[in-house]
Amino acid sequence: MRRWMTWAIGLALVGGAWGVIQVTPTQDDAEAPFPLVAEIDQTATARGFAVTVTDVRLGSRAVAGAWSAEGTWLVVDLEAEATQEETGTLLAHAELVFDDAAYRASERPASLLRTGLTPGIPREGSLAFELPPDVVRGTATLELGVSDDPRLDSLVPLPIALRALDPADEVELLATGWAQR
Amino acid sequence: MSGVTVPPEAPRPDAPRPSRTAWIARTWDRIPTGWFAGMLTAVFLAVTAAFGGLAQAAVPPIPELEPGDTHVNDQFALTVERAVLIDELPEAGITTEPGQRVLAIVLTAENVWNRALPSEGSSGLRAGVRIAELGDEPAAAIARFDDTTFSPYLQPRVPAELVLTWAIDRGVLADGDEIEVVLRDLTLRKGELVVAGEYWETPITAATMRLDVTDVGAGADAEAEADAEGQEG
């Protein structure tokens, strides 16, 4: 075999190995959640739960009953129900992803966060996100799921154009209750 | 058989002239192989000596902060504000046994990472704050100052004023005593193979701060009430 051919085959193999590494899915890919992209007022039926985001509001003060706090608040109104079983179906994963950062629904006000869901009888309420003031300029993605650990489970992402929202002075969370419909 | 035998020393017409550095190769060839280990050892020792030998490397001093200074690590920007001694503080989520009082540290924490961080737990703020006088005792409770939410999550780039509390035996600290707040940095670890997710672990002391403890007795409200009663009487 000619010397140049040996080198060419060697380099091709090294290049091929690099290519295989590039296209091999990572562990994160292998464990990625199954997304079910939803829109506002559109019901997404995922594994074990169904959710409808009915409204998204932005304000510089959030109010929930006697509780209130200043800041930059995004309040998401939604209806959610379990589809399989009541036991263990909680709205446990509620994050707002913007750029590279993930904001968790605030546990400060009483909200739907970690509320138990019931099959067939939707719950109605809100989630509140406390954000830095400059996040309000872009498009964020709301992620909803019923596992603390979203891996390999269905997850409902919902894009929210924060820039298009008109900030109010005060936004009030809906009282958590049974949905009227 | 006949032929012309060329003497080995005879210079061949096309041989290159011996270069100036040829003596290095000749000398190298004459070093007995057994010496190499010794030479490498000597070089290693010489380099070690040049970098200060086996003496303890100087540890950079841990910075001492003033109250109000901000310490920034990979997780939080922490500004310790004040230390208060109080009889009890159930609003901050702490319960005391008889004979105990509460040491409360008020600080502002801003999460500088890109995900929400818990205040409690081994990855949270609790792991990063200690009181030197209390040893390696983590805060018994952490609550928000404004609405007394217990064990709050800290959202990225949203500062929060928090109250960290320890139950201490009565008499351990008194008004005007100085305590040393120890701020520790944690390192992010990404799980691999059987471990999933990201964790903050291995706290290392990064800064200290001396704070004067203010004894507010039964609490500001109780004192105000007592004052009002005193003025009336």
Q: Per-residue DSSP letters for chain A?
A: --HHHHHHHHHHHHHHHHHHHHHS--HHHHT--EE----TT-EEEETTEEEEEEEEEEEEEEEETTEEEEEEEEEEEEEEEESS-STT-B--EEEEEETTEEEEPPSSS--STT-B-BBTB-EEEEEEEEE-GGGGGSEEEEEEES-SS-TTSEEEEEEEEGGGS--BS-EEPPPPEE---
Residues from chain A that touch B155, judged by Cβ atoms under 8 A, are 103-104, 106, 129-132
Tell me, what's the pLDDT at B18?
67
Between A95, A102, A108, which is nearest B152 by CB? A108
For residue B193, the chain A residue with the least C-alpha distance is A27
The yes-or-no verdict on residue A22 having pLDDT over 70 is yes
- What pTM was estimated for this model as a whole? 0.81
CB-based contacts of B64, cutoff 8 Å, min separation 6 = B207, B208, B209, B210
The reply to whether A140 touches chain B by the CB within 8 Å rule is: no
Residues from chain A that touch B144, judged by Cβ atoms under 8 A, are 108
- Assign B59 a pLDDT band (cuts: 50, 70, 90): confident
Q: Encode pLDDT of B137-196 as tens digits.
A: 999 999 999 999 999 999 999 999 999 999 999 989 999 999 999 999 999 998 877 887
Question: What are the CA-CA distances from residue A101 to residues A41, A65, A133, B116, B155 (Å)?
Answer: 26, 29, 14, 9, 10
Q: How many alpha carbons lie under 13 Å from residue A114 in its C-beta half-sphere? A: 8
Q: Under an 8 A CB cutoff, do A67 and B147 touch?
A: yes
Determine the length of chain A: 181
Q: Under an 8 A CB cutoff, do B156 and A103 touch?
A: yes
CA–CA separation, B37 vs B15, rounded Å?
35
SS3 content of chain B, % helix, strand, coil (to 5): 20, 35, 45
Distance of CA A180 to the CA centre of its chain: 25
The yes-or-no verdict on residue B233 having pLDDT over 50 is no
Percent of all residues in chain B with a pLDDT value above 70, rounded to a whole number = 86
Between A102, A107, A132, which is nearest B158 by CB? A132
For residue A94, the chain B residue with the least C-alpha distance is B116
Q: Under an 8 A CB cutoff, do B147 and A108 touch?
A: yes
Between B146, B155, B157, which is nearest A69 by CB? B146
Between B147, B155, B192, which is nearest A104 by CB? B155
The yes-or-no verdict on residue A114 having pLDDT over 60 is yes
Tell me, what's the pLDDT at A69?
96
Determine the length of chain B: 233
Residues from chain B that touch A132, judged by Cβ atoms under 8 A, are 155-158
Between A101, A107, A151, which is nearest B156 by CB? A101
| Topology classification of domain B65-224 | Immunoglobulin-like (2.60.40)
Strands B198-215 and B76-86: parallel
Q: Encode pLDDT of B100-128 as tens digits.
A: 999 999 999 999 999 999 999 899 999 99
Quote the mean pLDDT of chain A.
94
Mutate to test the interface with A, among B120, B154, B158, B198 (most CBs of A within 10 A): B158
Residues from chain A that touch B196, judged by Cβ atoms under 8 A, are 27, 31, 149, 151
Q: φ and ψ at B126, to 5 degrees?
A: -55, -35
The reply to whether A102 touches chain B by the CB within 8 Å rule is: yes
Question: What are the CA-CA distances from residue A44 to residues A40, A51, A84, A146, B155 (Å)?
Answer: 10, 5, 15, 13, 27
Q: What six digits make up the tokens of B44?
A: 């290693």
